[in-house]
Structure 1
Amino acid sequence: MRNFNFCIYVFIGCCLWACEGGKQENTNKADLPVSELSKSELSDKVKGLIVGSAIGDAMGAPTEMWAREDIQKTYGWVTGLDTMVREVSPEGIWKANLPAGGTTDDTRWKALIVDFMSEQNSLSLDVDAFSNHIIQTYEAYFNRYKSLKPDQTKDLEETNLKVLWLQEWYKVSLAIKENKLKPYQKAMGKFYGGEMVCAGLLYAPALGLLYPSDPEMAYNQAYNLSIYDLGLAKDISALSAAMTSAALTANGNQNEVLRVLKDIDPEGYFSSRLVGRSSYRVYELALDIVAEAKDSLGTELKPNKTTLIPESSILRAYQLLDQNLQDMPFHAAEIHLQVLTAMLFNDFKFKETMIFLVNYGRDNDTTAAIAGAILGAYHGYAQLPIEMREQVEKVNDELLDINLEKLAEKQINNTLSLYLWPD
């Protein structure tokens, strides 16, 4: 009888546990936000961002940091993907003589942030976990030295590139891990020479993929993760995530993307004493440049040197951008201005925007990768140039160990798990 009673109690307990578990699961599911996108739309948009950014990166990779005259001398007026006759570098390409479609750190950062978001599997991203993710990635690269011998020069060179890619980030991340202000200030003061670099812009656009139709949430999360940015660069990085978020559900309405530059300001930059919101002044400058450049269409503008630029309006836009250069091509405000100008000038057309940015020069793989991410999310994968997307996917998979399709699928599954979907 005792055994029978015990079994009854166990049976009842299991039933209650199962019912409670079922209630908990239903409650959790009911608490999920409802997406405005269908699952198929999300898949198209996510893949559009991942591949669109890689296309921009690949178009700019052969001439990253080149002067405009040098681009034209070597490649002419760039309208597509091309092979690379440049040196390898930690932030650049990792293999010499890459065929058309190869990419740089701009695509590697998208892979890193997607991996991090998938590990988190949450709409609330943890800053400490992000810095630890970078620490672990760096240390995994560094530990490869232990298995190498002095005569393995090729493997040593490849490992050097990977370690040096994250070395600056590792120093800052260690200070964050210590949770002490002075080490963090010191590390940030020397991060890439203390310049206001576009650090967060390398990964922030992809953060918007977690927050379809919620650009303010995207801004907040990206701002929290902008721990490698200084000053207004934090605002610009966060805005790139907000623009991506808005682009996912814009339905072809450019204003839905552009309005976040004014409407999304949870940190109160517009109320900053004496200065106001510097990132918005950059947007206003982009509008002015586009307006003046469009007015010059059809007029004769004589550059100082022979140029292959096909239209006077493009030449004028370039000249006006030249008047607003920073000391470093990868300054966040300069990057922001060029991206916005190109998108506005080309009416959000994907390929035309890429062509504008790549031929302008400066940090053109980064500007094209950022614009490619936003416009890839805006238009979707199906609207990207077919030959370009296929070539970029092929080269990254076969030569660079970055499978863009699988990367997109990882992010799609992550976002799908965090929302309720209409289909």
Structure 2
Amino acid sequence: MTLDAAQGGPDLRGRIRAMVHGVAFGDAMGAPVEKLSAAEIRERYGRVTSLRTAWHRDGQDEVQRKGRVRGHGITTDDTAMTLSLMRIYAAERRHLDAWDMATGMVREIAWESRWVPELQRVTPLIERLFYPEKWIFQRLQLSGCDPRQGGVGNMVNCGATMYIAPVGAVNACNPRAAYDEAINFAAGHQQSYGLEAAGAFAAAVARAFVPGATLDEVVRTAHDLAHDGTRSAIAEVVAAAEDLRRKGAGAEEVTEVLHRAIAPFSPMGDDVAHGPEKAGRATAAYQPSRLLSIEELPLALGFCITAGGDFRQAVVDGINSGRDTDSIGVMVGAILGAMHGPEVIDPEDAALLDSANRLTLAADADRFAEAVADIMEGDAARATDIAAGRRILLQTTFERSAE
């Protein structure tokens, strides 16, 4: 199936390949500098522009590194969970909801063993996941709660948003459906503005698949479908980014201004590391709120704008801004990958991502694309049936009115 061959643009398979590449590329670019501030990145690296970058924790002992390795193309849980969601779609061949989080995703993270690049061994992914993602197993298997309530009580973060791009692909060209499905599925994992961002991001990815879509249309879609603090944060960051773009601002000014724009909605700031000094203190950044937003999605949209939609520049600018660099890179990469298609895939980068992580990203993307095509064809058949039924209802209604 090709969605847009008539327009001469990338087809569905090509866009999905580019989206998946964008996820892995943005993730691996940001992973070596995650949790550093922008100033710390400048001090240590100058500016990170290549996948072949050493992790800032290289040289620490294994305990300090939590047994992990990063750098030189290694991806994190963002990519691993994105691939997990793609496998669930490939197996089910239908739209997903919270019950699939409770079955498919629990199996993927807790009961399937695969190569985990950061741990350099074959193991269930849960051994690598952060606590808000381990929550999926805790709530949906060990606690056995209603899947729709799985996210209740979880630490609010970007964990659902970081892997939700495949929902946008499944609902390509239908942002409202992407938003709804992302919310239905990720409700088994996240709550509040952590859930809201997942819906808005999936919608943006779905809009990016529309042939000829502009970046302005993609950004406006995310804003218009978002609610509460997420919508307000997107509006503020986008307004700032558009002004910076008009001024031709440099990278340091862009980061400073965008961080200032997101600050009222995200108390996180540069203090993103967890340690014993924070024991017993739950920060406001991770509590449910209708006023707050995760940082990563609004900032990702902002960097897309200031880079003028240029894939590589937007990823590089985003990951050099510090903080949750890998997830910002993932969101930028997914949106612009889906929008531009295979032209964003550098063969050398793609080869490094595959070799460093023991992956076959193009083949994984193609298998997922086949499932997406099947789901789309089912959607089209249902839409035809619905339209036919409505025509009959309308026709008979007005015929009776005429009598």
TM-score, normalising length: structure 1: 0.71
Residues 45-82 of structure 1: per-residue CA shift (max 9 Å, x gap): 10010001111111101101112222122221122222
* 1:76 match: 46
AA aligned to 2:75 is T
1:20-419 → structure 2 map (5 Å cutoff)? 36-38=3-5, 41-86=11-56, 96=69, 98-99=71-72, 101-122=73-94, 124-140=95-111, 159=123, 162-165=126-129, 167-174=134-141, 177-179=144-146, 188-189=152-153, 191=154, 194=155, 196-226=156-186, 227-264=188-225, 269=227, 277-294=228-245, 313-314=253-254, 316-318=256-258, 320-321=260-261, 323-324=263-264, 325-327=266-268, 329=272, 333-382=294-343, 384=344, 386=346, 389-391=347-349, 393-419=350-376
AA aligned to 1:174 is Q
2:88/2:105 contact within 8 Å kept? no
Distance 1:180 1:315 in 2: 38
- Shift of residue 142, structure 1, vs aligned partner: 8.0
> Structure 2 unaligned runs (5+)?
273-284, 287-292, 381-403
Residue 125 of structure 1 aligns to a residue in which SS? coil
Distance 2:251 2:147 in 1: 53
Distance 1:256 1:322 in 2: 21
**Bigger CA radius of gyration:** 1
- Shift of residue 278, structure 1, vs aligned partner: 2.0
Residue 176 of structure 2 aligns to a residue in which SS? helix
1:55/1:372 contact within 8 Å kept? yes
In structure 2, the CA distance between the partners of 1:47 and 1:294, relative to structure 1 (3 Å rule), is closer
- Shift of residue 295, structure 1, vs aligned partner: 6.7
- Shift of residue 118, structure 1, vs aligned partner: 0.8
AA aligned to 1:314 is V
Distance 1:343 1:239 in 2: 15
TM-score, normalising length: structure 2: 0.74
In structure 2, the CA distance between the partners of 1:355 and 1:285, relative to structure 1 (3 Å rule), is same
Distance 1:244 1:188 in 2: 26
- Shift of residue 284, structure 1, vs aligned partner: 1.4
- Shift of residue 399, structure 1, vs aligned partner: 3.6
* Pairwise CA RMSD: 3.5
In structure 2, the CA distance between the partners of 1:97 and 1:222, relative to structure 1 (3 Å rule), is closer
The structure with higher relative contact order (CA 8 Å, sep 6+) is 1
- Shift of residue 36, structure 1, vs aligned partner: 4.4
Query: Identity over the aligned pairs, expressed in percent?
Result: 19
State the aligned residue count.
Answer: 344
More moved, 128-137 vs 238-247: 128-137
1:46/1:209 contact within 8 Å kept? yes
- Shift of residue 41, structure 1, vs aligned partner: 0.7
Distance 1:287 1:97 in 2: 32
Residue 230 of structure 2 aligns to a residue in which SS? helix
